[in-house]
């Protein structure tokens, strides 16, 4: 999976209408709400078999931050 595909998955998961790029702060999106963190953590676990620490998730804001937390080697 490349980062563009991951951006699209996050967009679908959050039911977002705005364009999401690597620099997007997904926590500032209009569609981001209280359950969004759980949805994103579950998406990452399902797609990459990686469990992110929910406490550490507080420091993750952009798609690039997510990519770094998942591990850039998991992306083409």
Predicted pLDDT at 32: 96
Q: How do residues 15-60 score in pLDDT, each as one tens digit?
A: 999 999 999 999 999 999 989 999 999 999 999 999 999 999 999 9
Predicted pLDDT at 25: 98
What's the pTM value of the predicted model, to 2 decimals? Answer: 0.92
Distance in angstroms (rounded) separating the CA atoms of residues 44 and 16: 17
Q: Domains in the chain, please, with CATH?
A: 3-74 (1.10.1200.10)
Predicted pLDDT at 51: 96
Predicted pLDDT at 34: 84
Nearest by Cα to 42 from 9, 19, 4: 9
């Amino acid at each position: 999976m490349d980062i563009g595909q991951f951006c699209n998955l996050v967009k679908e998961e959050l039911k977002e209408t705005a364009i999401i790029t690597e620099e997007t702060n997904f926590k500032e999106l209009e569609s981001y709400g209280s359950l969004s963190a759980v949805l994103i953590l579950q998406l990452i676990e399902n797609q990459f078999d990686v469990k992110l620490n929910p406490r550490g998730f507080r420091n993750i804001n952009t798609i690039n931050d997510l990519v770094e937390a998942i591990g850039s080697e998991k992306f083409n």
